[in-house]
């Protein structure tokens, strides 16, 4: 009988889903013959939606919105046939104690969780030292090491569907050099002024670089301003159909010399496939939200003795980009 592992989360939006792709890769790499089942609690997961074509390389089955609740276990179990399930491992990636207690009622040989300081885990978890973690995904790697240890693949590249890659080759001319620009973000205090991005584009267009804009569906006003100013710029998501926006952005990174972005969901997409990325931070701590990856460079308002992202100087961004391009 095929061995299996259940991975439990509270659901993934696009940023979380992309951040966890290297973890999925590690699970598949270390447990190649296992059936991998991904279960979400209340939320849905982009692995069953925007990132479905990519996630299918790692996940065999998805159970969404299981709504585990220890007080209503019988009704939940009947709805999802949870009493019929049995796994070799259950890997709990969240820390809500009551959810973990409910999850533990699913049959398995080994249950692994850091919830409640690891008390509920079948395998003893070493307590982290008092040093602040550089990157939160490290905690999940520590849990995975309890199942099977291995070196983390540093040069992980997200697999892009071949059809999408073929279409991108029709957009990006090998004779040109491209810089990606993602000037949006979900929160105002994360957005470097648009005028600064325009200055960056002016500078590199004068150096014969082609500009590629990555903009979300809510950023119509920004798109209008930028395309009126730079009509020759490329918008890949408007040139390709039948693939999701995240897939197109991640596929495009293969053709970029580098990219510049605020701290946003798009920045996670641009950091894939070893594309050199400069990520701008305002009030948030850069180390906590940036994977340890040699292709990702950060500039933070804190480096300019401020919490305001507009304090980041244009000339410092240009200097950083030039360091990458040289």
Q: Name the residue range of residue 85's domain.
A: 4-147
One domain for residues 216 and 315: yes
The pLDDT, as a whole number, for residue 133 is 52
Residue 275 lies in a domain: yes
One domain for residues 142 and 170: no
Residue 212 lies in a domain: yes
| C-alpha to C-alpha distance for 312 and 290, rounded to whole angstroms | 18
Residue 94 lies in a domain: yes
The pLDDT, as a whole number, for residue 57 is 94
The pLDDT, as a whole number, for residue 37 is 97
One domain for residues 83 and 194: no
Rounded mean pLDDT of 147-158?
A: 88
pLDDT tens for each residue of 89-125:
999 999 999 999 999 999 999 999 999 999 999 998 8
| Predicted confidence (pLDDT) at residue 77 exceeds the cutoff of 90 | no
DSSP secondary-structure letter at 38? E
Rounded mean pLDDT of 141-150?
A: 94
Structure tokens given for 24: 């999925």
| Predicted confidence (pLDDT) at residue 135 exceeds the cutoff of 70 | no
State which of 119, 147, 175 marks the end of a domain. Answer: 147
Which neighbouring-strand residues pair with 258? 179
One domain for residues 209 and 243: yes
Cβ–Cβ under 8 Å, residues 282 and 309: yes
SS3 309: helix
| Predicted confidence (pLDDT) at residue 285 exceeds the cutoff of 80 | no
The pLDDT, as a whole number, for residue 274 is 85
CATH code, domain carrying 252: 3.40.50.2000
What's the domain count of the chain?
2
Looking at per-residue confidence, does 142 or 76 come out higher?
A: 142
Q: What is the value of pTM for the model shown?
A: 0.85
One domain for residues 113 and 172: no
The pLDDT, as a whole number, for residue 289 is 58
One domain for residues 179 and 318: yes
One domain for residues 41 and 111: yes
- If you write DSSP's letter for every residue of 203-260 in order, what string do you get? HHHTTTPEEEE---TT-HHHHHHHHHH-TT-B-GGGT--SS-HHHHHHHHGGG-SEEE
Cβ–Cβ under 8 Å, residues 253 and 270: yes
| Predicted confidence (pLDDT) at residue 49 exceeds the cutoff of 80 | yes
Rounded mean pLDDT of 253-266?
A: 94
pLDDT tens for each residue of 219-243:
989 999 999 999 999 999 999 988 9
Lookup result for tokens 């293969």: 254
Q: Tell me whether strands 178-182 and 61-63 are parallel, antiparallel or unpaired.
A: unpaired
The pLDDT, as a whole number, for residue 217 is 83
The pLDDT, as a whole number, for residue 129 is 56
Is the torsion defined by CA of 284, 289, 292, 295 positive or negative? negative
One domain for residues 93 and 235: no
Residue 152 lies in a domain: no
């Amino acid at each position: 009988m095929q061995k299996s592992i259940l991975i439990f989360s509270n659901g993934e939006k696009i940023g979380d889903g992309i951040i966890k792709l290297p973890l999925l890769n590690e699970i598949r790499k270390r447990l190649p013959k296992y059936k991998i089942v991904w279960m979400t609690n209340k939320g849905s997961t982009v692995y069953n939606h925007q990132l479905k074509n990519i996630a299918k390389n790692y996940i065999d089955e998805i159970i969404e919105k299981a709504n585990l609740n220890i007080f209503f276990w019988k009704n939940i179990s009947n709805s999802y046939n949870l009493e019929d399930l049995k796994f070799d491992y259950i890997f709990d990636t969240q820390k809500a104690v009551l959810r973990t207690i409910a999850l533990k009622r699913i049959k398995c040989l080994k249950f692994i969780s850091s919830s409640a300081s690891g008390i509920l885990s079948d395998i003893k978890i070493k307590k982290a030292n008092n040093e602040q973690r550089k990157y939160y995904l490290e905690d999940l790697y520590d849990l995975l090491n309890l199942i099977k240890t291995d070196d983390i693949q540093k040069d992980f590249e997200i697999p892009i569907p071949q059809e999408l890659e073929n279409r991108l080759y029709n957009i990006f001319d090998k004779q040109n050099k491209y810089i990606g620009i993602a000037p949006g973000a979900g929160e105002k205090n994360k957005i470097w002024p648009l005028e600064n991005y325009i200055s960056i584009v002016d500078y590199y267009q004068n150096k014969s670089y082609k500009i590629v804009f990555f903009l979300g569906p809510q950023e119509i006003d920004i798109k209008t301003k930028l395309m009126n100013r730079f009509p020759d710029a490329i918008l890949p998501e408007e040139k390709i159909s039948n693939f999701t926006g995240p897939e197109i952005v991640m596929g495009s990174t293969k053709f970029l010399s580098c990219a510049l972005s605020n701290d946003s969901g798009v920045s996670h997409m641009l950091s894939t496939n070893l594309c050199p990325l400069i990520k701008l931070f305002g009030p948030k701590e850069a180390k906590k939200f940036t994977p340890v990856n040699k292709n990702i460079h950060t500039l933070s308002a804190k480096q300019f003795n401020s919490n305001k992202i507009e304090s980041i100087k244009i000339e410092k961004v240009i200097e950083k980009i030039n360091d990458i391009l040289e």
